A and B are shown apart, each in its own frame.
Chain A
């Protein structure tokens, strides 16, 4: 970056670059390139020694309209806001309404849901609020381990 030929204009550019870098930090890691709308749910997973859950919205909306989960099954419009746990799922609530081996594959496929990088916080990936609102410390898309 630093070069002896830097002029006043270059200095201004450097300031702009810093601002851009700050914006990038707010926007989260450039490493995270998951699908728009992928929801990471990490209410209890890390504490339980499991990988956090990734819910791919795109995959489900190909097969179901929003209404099925968000009206019939009672999923709130809030990432991590449903306090889902495995007991509820086994009981046929939330994911368990379909992931029961009859409508969709059953819960013995732990790692297909619990598939996020450990320590990934609860978030809607690429959400507007995640990219522009959350402060850098609680970045929605944290740096992924190298």
Chain B
């Protein structure tokens, strides 16, 4: 299939659908006509602007091309009902279907046709993601034993198997894979090709070649076995026999059935051969930089976007074998429409309350009880160069009762409370809540928000 043709057809369909939708909206009320861009910005951008959870980024032709295979209706379906880690309606259940479709239209129209058009289709076996194939095949850095499977995995499987969406066993999660591995490799191939439970056939990408799907399964299985040792021995074993034909038998990983490399490797050689003309030793050397690259990854100790707000069964605290765990709500299904923040639950709870996104009760039983608000800002001048702290009673009394803080934590008298960041970090004073459940201390400027006047700064410097 020619990607240009697909995209051109899609754009035509979108234009037609937009026209029809506009007509329908005109028949109802003009005010109902949803603005795709606005919907995108409010709901979709969280993932589709950043590529979080494997979402195709706005305007990224490479990422969108495989999705276009499903046609505009397929995209609408995925957006409205959810697909993989994409939640239904982008997690904002209050959106109308029309609004979701408008957002899809907006995103589709942002895809630039030219980059996809200029990409050559590298090999016959890569029909699904022609745009992806070129960079992968030319990148001599990719480990030959994992290259093909990994590239297919990244383009087609990662959305779910990278994040654990829809109960998919995650990459390299030995515990989740163990029961699946028991059923044997042929059964896994079968599940991957034909689909099983939440797993769609070929990972929802019917254009993938069978060999590609199997290569991806091989890759996932190798990762699940923690078979980094096997993978490296494979890479090391390759250079010894120079001719490529001899590499297949030596590359057999010890525990795997004999069929594994036999099916995976021919596809590999086909994909790699034209681009990687160099001798095998180059590939073996390339295997080491991959590990180093991972060690030096940017922000490697921070939680990656796809690993935030995980459902209970995957959060490492809940027991995934417990039936009750599966009945619990997943955070993202609740957080969808909430304003975002950069820390904690990644939700701006104060804003969520102010915008009436949540209506938490102030009384156990009475839904109409309203808090007794106190609107009084306390300014605390701090040492050093940090801006002074402004403590707002208002936002605190929205949630809390006076007795929660006074007098046990804070003596209600000016100058009577010694507060330091050390105490807060140790869970005292503000740290009773901030750093445990209210926004953490990493958000310095939310408290330290009042710039010192020049005179005050000079005085403190003396």
A residues apposed to B, CB below 8 Å: 3, 17, 20, 23-24, 27, 29, 31-38, 40, 51, 54, 56-59, 61-68, 70-73, 77, 97-98, 103, 109-118, 120, 124-129, 132-133, 141, 144-146
Contacts and interface: CB of A to CB of B under 8 A. Distances in A.
Contact of B316 (A56, A73, A103, A141): A141
A97 B365 CA distance: 10
A70 B436 CA distance: 14
A55 B431 CA distance: 19
A59 to B, nearest CB: 6
Closest 7 CB pairs of A and B: A111-B324, A128-B435, A32-B316, A71-B401, A34-B317, A37-B437, A34-B315
A129 B427 contact: yes
Contacts of B441: 128
B371 A67 contact: yes
B294 interface: no
Contacts, number: 170
25 contacts: A17-B295, A31-B316, A32-B316, A34-B310, A34-B312, A34-B315, A35-B345, A36-B440, A59-B329, A59-B334, A62-B358, A68-B362, A68-B364, A71-B400, A72-B364, A73-B364, A77-B436, A98-B364, A103-B364, A114-B324, A115-B322, A117-B319, A126-B344, A128-B431, A129-B435
A127 B439 CA distance: 10
Nearest to A73: B364
Contact of B360 (A36, A63, A133, A146): A63
B301 interface: yes
Nearest to B357: A62
A129 B314 contact: no
Interface in B396-435: 398-401, 403-404, 424-427, 431-433, 435
Contact of A116 (B318, B398, B399, B401): B318
A120 B288 CA distance: 36
Contacts of A127: 427, 435-436
A146 B174 contact: yes
A132 to B, nearest CB: 7
A12 B276 CA distance: 35
Contact of B425 (A56, A70, A129): A129
Nearest to B325: A115
A32 B360 contact: no
A77 B435 contact: no
Interface in B285-335: 288, 295, 301, 303, 307-310, 312, 314-319, 322-325, 327-329, 331, 334-335
A145 B425 CA distance: 29
A40 to B, nearest CB: 6
A115 B345 contact: no
B325 A33 contact: no
